[in-house]
């Protein structure tokens, strides 16, 4: 019984440590999100289109092959729908 209590206490300490670390990271993420929103607001105030900026950010995260595939599919869909540039 004493060994089981020690294990539970140790596991409880580990669990609390994990929970606290996750809570700290979530708070940091929340703060970073606020910082990102502030930057977008600043860019918008300077005349930039934040919707397009978000699209560019998504494109920059893609590999060149994935980006080419997405552009090919977009162009194919536009052609099928009769949307001309």
Q: Any residues with CB less than 8 A from the CB of 23 and at least 6 apart, and which?
A: none
At residue 42 the predicted structure's pLDDT band, cuts being 50, 70 and 90, is very high
Q: Compare 1 and 67 and report the one with higher pLDDT.
A: 67
At residue 83 the predicted structure's pLDDT band, cuts being 50, 70 and 90, is very high
pLDDT digits (tens, 9 = 90+) for 15-35: 999 999 999 999 999 999 999
> Domains of the chain: which residue ranges?
2-81
Give percent of the chain with pLDDT exceeding 90. Answer: 82
**Mean confidence (pLDDT) of the chain:** 92
pLDDT at 3: 67
Tell me how crowded residue 9 is: count the other CB atoms within 10 A of its CB: 10
Tell me how crowded residue 1 is: count the other CB atoms within 10 A of its CB: 5
């Amino acid at each position: 019984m004493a060994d089981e209590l020690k294990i539970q206490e140790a596991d409880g300490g580990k669990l609390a440590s994990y929970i606290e670390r996750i809570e700290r990271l979530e708070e940091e993420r929340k703060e970073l999100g606020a910082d990102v929103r502030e930057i977008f607001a600043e860019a918008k105030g300077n005349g930039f289109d934040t919707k397009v900026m978000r699209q560019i950010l998504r494109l920059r995260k893609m590999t060149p092959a994935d980006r080419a595939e997405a552009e090919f599919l977009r162009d194919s869909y536009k052609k099928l729908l009769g949307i001309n540039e």
